[in-house]
Structure 1
Amino acid sequence: MTLTGAWWRSRGRRKRLFAGVDRLLWWIPLAMIFIAGILIASTQRQAGYADWYQHWITAAVGLAIALGLARVPVERITRWIWPIYGVTIISLVAVRLVGVSALGAQSWINIAGFHVQPSEFAKIAAILLLAQVLARHPVERPVDLVRPVVTISIPWLLVLIQPDLGTSLVFGAVLLVMTYWSGMPGAWVVLLVSPVVTSVLAGVFPWLLLAWIPLMAVMAYRTLPWKTLAPLGVLAIEGLFAVATPWLWNNFLQPHQRDRLTLFLDPNKDPLGGGYHLLQSTVGIGSGGWFGTGLLQGHLTLLRFIPEQHTDFIFSALGEETGFLGSALVVVGFVAWIWHLLQIARNARTDLEALVVIGVGAMVMFQVVVNINMTIGL
């Protein structure tokens, strides 16, 4: 066989492999993975280790698995939803018993020398099961919320007590977006989120509770079926959160979690402690200017001024080395990808397929928004 013939045969196999592949859906994440590998390498230039290439190796394995799963009908996957969900719950329980601790959280399990984080698999398992529950029982009445809330509460609670506050919040975001897509009124979404707002106001602007809590009671009266019990129930719940917040703040959250929730308002209160990460991150991003210093050329990144830059603060390396234009391009890429997911969900054949797509989009976008806003102080 000639080299030309072998090349054409190989090209034909590649065409069959990628036949029907939605290129926008795949190429944007692959581009993100590529640039992320370079940025991780940049953060490790002066470190005593270099494992940035593992990011690409993991991505290659994930890509192979994803291409395989893309050819499996969703109906076949639904047969395995409950076993998948059960295994992830067992793994989250195992984390509490034999897990590995790092950075104040016991979130990993050591399997054959590899640290595996079950909470990442739990996100997907929860989305799959929640999609199945909502496809069969859309949220049209308040009582319909019981099933999805119970479904998401088990993994959410197990992740929260690790304690991993950031990951646990993802489950809440997924629940709200997926229930809204299934038909839940927007006012109910506001009522579900309102206790969180009440907790924040109780700690920052308690006087605003005088307007906020009655407003929620009025919304409950106008949108919920029980015209007497609903407002009273909302008043009781909001009052409970307003009173319990100070106790939970002092007795439940870890010090580093309290720092993350308060020092973004004024990191200069503790510039060498809890505010150090944010100050250095904003300096690094700002130093990139319009066009950045160039990939692998960041000065703050080179000197390792920004802690945990290869993970939580990777966006600061992006801002320094690619500037405003590069950072904006990444944000636009994520927005375009999420918008494309919305189009896919709208054109899905079944409610189950649409809900899975919406769940994945909510999971990714929530993490993107939280991470980027955290690194720039918003």
Structure 2
Amino acid sequence: MTLLGLWGRRRSALFAAGGSRRRRWVDRVDKLLWWIPLAMIFVSGILIASTQRQADYADWYQHWVTAAVGLVIALGLARVPVESITRWPWVIYGVTVASLIAVRVVGVSALGAQSWINIAGFNVQPSEFAKIGAILLLARVLSRHPVERPVDLVRPVAIISFPWLLVLVQPDLGTSLVFGAVLLVMMFWSGMPGSWVVLFLSPVITAIVAGVFPWLLLAWIPAMGLLAWKSLPWKRAGLSLVLLVQGLFAVATPWLWNNFLQPHQRDRLTLFLDPNKDPLGGGYHLLQSTVGIGSGGWFGTGLLQGHLTLLRFIPEQHTDFIFSALGEELGFVGSVLAVLGFVVWIWRLLQIAGKARSDVESLVVVGVGAMVMFQVVVNINMTIGLGPITGIPLPWLSYGRSAMLVNFIALGLCASVARRGGHQGVTRW
């Protein structure tokens, strides 16, 4: 055989080996984990462009540019073990807290909140990155000290309280609520009984009941006392503490409502119940959002064809109210598909968490799932009139550089866990 023939055979073998490796790599890609967010980003770029058709600016393409940068970061993180990232948890915590303190010192104000830092001409929102920092630190702490006794609650609650408070005083109520959701879900995943989750949430319910149906407190507070007696190890001390907290919230909430909150703050929390009370003020967003979603019908008006979106009836629609543009232009079917996409994605995260090699990796994935799902539920309820406006963006769909990068960092961390979890944890089509 000639030298040329031998080289041809060698080259064919090399190409075949390379193709085989590429096929194995493609087979190992977790398609649900990656394709669902990427599909949402593609559609949302068009929706954002639709909201800016009559605007004097057009920065919708930056949504895709930021996503491309985030994708590169996620692909890099997917190859790094999460265990090595969380090896220095207090460094992560220190950077997180320092960035939030910097916001108070040199932060930039916008839309009534001082939440951004200007870096090289770009406004960066540290509170978004603080969510990832909190998840990584809590994962490391809870993997070593799972919540199995009441005293185990002190460490994770103390850790999350400082960044939570710094975010709350910006003020950024929506993001601060995300910290609480992440904390509860991760503590539950680490071993905390479900009854304790109810006791944790009960003061919030007590506050709401005290303001709306105070007579229900006669049944609610004794029910929480009974739950504390049955589920807490120190029965008398636990019962006394729970009843004390419930009583304080029941008494203090009406007083704080009338004397501490300003009228516009009270309206923001309650106008979703009847936005027609202030149709040109606080209720305007909700009314226009629900009208836009309702006008989409079953299949919508089509991409770039929404009438309310064209006329810009909804301020800041490309950020927190992007779901209203989706409902108008893609209709009920498109809205349901978006919701199902989030549900399937969270379901995939739970599979990955269940097959993770370590408690740290499992807790990181669960924390990411809690962060994303809480934002999805709050944002969509807000846009359809079932909840107050809190300023929480819709993951992958809302315009926002910091939020997009954080979502991709979270995706990269979850992909790293899925990659190390073995072939059984990979979805193949």
* TM-score after normalising by structure 2: 0.83
Q: Which residue of 2 aligns with 1:21?
A: 29
Map 1:76-95 to 2 at 5 A. Answer: 76-95=84-103
Paired with 2:168 and 2:205, the residues of 1 have a C-alpha distance of: 19
Paired with 1:260 and 1:339, the residues of 2 have a C-alpha distance of: 33
Query: Paired residue for 1:335, among 320, 335, 343?
Result: 343
Query: Paired residue for 1:201, among 206, 209, 221?
Result: 209
Q: Which residue of 1 aligns with 2:372?
A: 364
Q: Deviations over 1:91-148 (max 9, x none)?
A: 1001111111111111001111100000010000000000111100111001111111
Q: Do the aligned partners of residues 255 and 192 (structure 1) sit closer, same or farther apart at CA in structure 2, a change above 3 Å counting?
A: same
Name which of structure 1's ranges 250-259 and 57-66 shifts more when overlaid on structure 2: 250-259
Q: Deviations over 1:11-34 (max 9, x none)?
A: 899768767321110110111111
Paired with 1:310 and 1:9, the residues of 2 have a C-alpha distance of: 46
Q: Do the aligned partners of residues 248 and 112 (structure 1) sit closer, same or farther apart at CA in structure 2, a change above 3 Å counting?
A: farther
User: Is the counterpart of residue 237 in structure 1 residue 237 in structure 2?
Assistant: no
Paired with 1:284 and 1:373, the residues of 2 have a C-alpha distance of: 15
Larger radius of gyration: 2
The AA in structure 1 aligned to 2:283 is G
Paired with 2:356 and 2:302, the residues of 1 have a C-alpha distance of: 41
8 Å Cα contact 2:286/2:383 also seen in 1:
yes
Q: Which residue of 2 aligns with 1:375?
A: 383
Paired with 1:362 and 1:151, the residues of 2 have a C-alpha distance of: 18
Aligned residue for 2:115, secondary structure, equals strand
Q: Deviations over 1:284-319 (max 9, x none)?
A: 000000000000000000000111111111100000
Paired with 1:10 and 1:38, the residues of 2 have a C-alpha distance of: 36
Map 1:210-225 to 2 at 5 A. Answer: 210-225=218-233
Query: Paired residue for 1:124, among 125, 132, 145?
Result: 132
Q: Which residue of 1 aligns with 2:146?
A: 138
Aligned residue for 1:364, secondary structure, equals helix
Q: Which residue of 1 aligns with 2:406?
A: none
Aligned residue for 1:304, secondary structure, equals coil
8 Å Cα contact 2:164/2:179 also seen in 1:
yes
Q: CA deviation at 1:84?
A: 2.0
User: Is the counterpart of residue 274 in structure 1 residue 272 in structure 2?
Assistant: no
The AA in structure 1 aligned to 2:316 is E
Query: Paired residue for 1:105, among 87, 103, 113?
Result: 113
Paired with 2:255 and 2:125, the residues of 1 have a C-alpha distance of: 30
The AA in structure 2 aligned to 1:242 is A
8 Å Cα contact 2:83/2:360 also seen in 1:
no
Paired residues, number: 373
The AA in structure 1 aligned to 2:46 is I
List runs of 5+ in structure 1 lacking aligned partners.
none
User: Is the counterpart of residue 310 in structure 1 residue 318 in structure 2?
Assistant: yes
User: Is the counterpart of residue 36 in structure 1 residue 44 in structure 2?
Assistant: yes
The AA in structure 1 aligned to 2:114 is Q
Aligned residue for 2:59, secondary structure, equals coil
Paired with 2:200 and 2:286, the residues of 1 have a C-alpha distance of: 30
8 Å Cα contact 2:83/2:361 also seen in 1:
no
Q: Which residue of 2 aligns with 1:298?
A: 306
Identity of aligned residues (%): 81
Q: Which residue of 2 aligns with 1:190?
A: 198
Paired with 2:349 and 2:278, the residues of 1 have a C-alpha distance of: 41
Q: CA deviation at 1:87?
A: 0.8
Q: CA deviation at 1:253?
A: 4.8
Q: Deviations over 1:307-350 (max 9, x none)?
A: 11111111000000000000000000000000010011111111
User: Is the counterpart of residue 114 in structure 1 residue 122 in structure 2?
Assistant: yes
Stretches of 4+ aligned residues off by more than 4 angstroms: 7-19, 250-257
The AA in structure 2 aligned to 1:371 is N
Q: Deviations over 1:69-99 (max 9, x none)?
A: 1001122112233222211110100111111
Q: Which residue of 2 aligns with 1:249?
A: 257
Greater relative contact order (Cα < 8 A, sep 6+):
2
* TM-score after normalising by structure 1: 0.94
The AA in structure 1 aligned to 2:93 is Y
What's the Cα RMSD here?
2.0
Aligned residue for 1:263, secondary structure, equals helix
Paired with 1:93 and 1:152, the residues of 2 have a C-alpha distance of: 15
